[in-house]
A and B are shown apart, each in its own frame.
Chain A
Amino acid sequence: MTGRWWDGGAVLGPRTFAVTRADLVAYAHASGDQNPIHQDEQVALAVGLPGVIAHGMLTLGLVARAVEEWTDATPVLELGAKFTQPVVVPAEGAAEVAVTGTVKAVAEGRLTLALEVTCGGHKVLGMPKAVLDLPAASDSSGAARG
């Protein structure tokens, strides 16, 4: 790999995560979000969902994890997304969530990372974006500035 991760246009990932029903239970306990639509198929179907779905914040948490890995835990200034499509998690097996990042704007000490987050080839997040503290990134790498 040439270049640095924070160079404009750099593509990061994809980082993939397998999400199982057991992962949803673990996230429910860790986050406090015990909404039954993330654990109980009958409740999910009763409110019109296609099945048990992952917490949107679990998906965004996986995005944050991917960003942390790519950027050597550079401090995050902003993070967010719209939850546009559900991540349906089957009773057996796993849903696979894939996260890819592209370094967009780099200005005034802030680096904007545009993200793409898919499950089964379909985008599940709308406009997912992270803004990172660029000076912290370039300092922590120890690399000389060009």
Chain B
Amino acid sequence: MPVDPSLVGREFPPSEPFVVTREAVEAFALATGAPGGGEAGTESTRVPATFPIVIAFGAMQAFLDDVGVDLARIVHGEQRFAYERPLAVDDELTATLTVSSLRQIGGNDIIGTVSAITDASGALVCSTSATLVHRGGGS
């Protein structure tokens, strides 16, 4: 089932605010190669550079649900981040996803999205673009 081409340019509603907790940062750091155990402490309060994907992924999942695409048929093609400032514990962040492009190659939909991640004051913290490959079911 191809994705509706009229989606290009559409902005989806902002995600629910996500509060960055120390626990979430520690779990994410441990899951992305940080050493566990004694080295925690000050290091664990630094938010890993790819942590904004947690907020962006929430917005992406809402978008996929909205357009009726099964997550299992999505493969990640590309992700890029541009940061206005490092994230910090206690940031309250919201992602607003816009569909930036859509094309079809070999029965797959190639979906381009851009998510603006903003803090509680509305200031842009990080902009992140994703390419999602929706694998067609026709094989």
- Which parts of B51-101 form the interface with A (CB within 8 Å)? 53-54, 57-58, 61, 71-83, 86
Number of A-B contacts (CB under 8 A): 112
- Chain B nearest Cβ from A81, distance in angstroms: 7
Q: Does B34 count as interface, using CB distance less than 8 angstroms?
A: yes
Is chain B's interface secondary structure helix, strand, loop, or mixed overall? mixed
A80-B80 contact given A37-B75, A61-B50, CB 8 Å threshold: yes
| Given pairs A65-B29, A81-B78, 7 additional interface contacts (CB within 8 A) | A30-B32, A60-B50, A62-B33, A75-B86, A80-B78, A83-B75, A130-B49
Question: Of all chain A residues, which has the CB nearest B127?
Answer: A78
Q: Map CB proximity to B onto A35-62 as digits: 1 under 8 Å, 0 otherwise.
A: 1110000010001110000011110111
What's the tally of chain B residues with a CB closer than 8 Å to chain A?
Answer: 36
Q: Are A33 and B57 in contact (CB under 8 A)?
A: yes
Query: Is residue B12 within 8 Å, beta carbon to beta carbon, of the partner chain?
Result: no
Is A76 on the interface with B (CB-CB < 8 A)? yes
**A124–B76 CA distance with the chains assembled, in angstroms:** 12
Tell me, yes or no, whether B14 is within 8 Å of chain A by CB: no
Determine the distance from Cα of A29 to Cα of B72 in the docked complex, in whole angstroms. 16
Cβ contacts under 8 Å, A48 to chain B: 135, 139
Q: Give Cα A55–Cα B53 distance, bound, in whole angstroms.
A: 12
Q: Is the CB of A56 within 8 A of B30?
A: no
A-B contact pairs, 24 of them (CB 8 A): A17-B33, A23-B31, A30-B32, A31-B28, A34-B71, A35-B74, A36-B72, A37-B75, A47-B72, A56-B79, A61-B31, A64-B48, A76-B81, A76-B83, A76-B86, A78-B82, A78-B83, A79-B80, A80-B79, A80-B80, A80-B81, A82-B77, A83-B77, A130-B49
